[in-house]
Amino acid sequence: MASAGACLVSYLAHLDGVTSLAFSLAPTSSEQGVALASVSHDTSLRIWNLQVDHTGAGKSSLTCVQEASTHRVKGAEGVLGVAFAHTGKAVVTAGADGTARVWEQ
């Protein structure tokens, strides 16, 4: 198992600064991994599958499984926040353009 505070995986996820991340709270099997959402000033929402290697062999991975351009840039900012619905089947984003959007996976 990784030491407390050890980085499990690092990945260049967006073309601009990442502004918010959210893990899905919906139960998933350990083989499917964990859903992670990221949003950025580049106006994109990305859904990732995070596979964590619990053996300590350093084989954790992060794979993008869904991507959408979600908001318009306003004042050099894009998407400001993201959260999963309690079911894990929908994601809500909030943008600097003044809109909130709900996305079904």
Please report the pLDDT score of residue 33 as a whole number.
77
Query: 56 lies in a domain?
Result: yes
- pTM, whole model, 2 decimals? 0.81
pLDDT digits (tens, 9 = 90+) for 12-30: 888 888 999 999 977 655 5
Q: What are 57-76's pLDDT values in tens digits?
A: 668 888 898 888 878 888 88
Tell whether 7 is covered by a domain.
no
Report CA torsion sign: 88, 44, 63, 6.
negative
In which domain, by residue range, is 45 found? 18-104
- Give a yes or no: residue 97 inside a domain: yes
- Residue 75 pLDDT: 85
User: What are the distances in angstroms from CA 68 to CA 2, 46, 58, 84, 103?
Assistant: 32, 7, 30, 15, 10
For residue 86, what are the CA distances in angstroms to 16, 24, 28, 91, 92? 28, 8, 13, 9, 11
Q: How far is CA 33 from the centre of its chain?
A: 13
The whole-number pLDDT of residue 29 equals 52
Q: Is residue 76 part of a domain?
A: yes
Give me the number of domains the chain comprises. 1
User: Does any domain span residue 88?
Assistant: yes
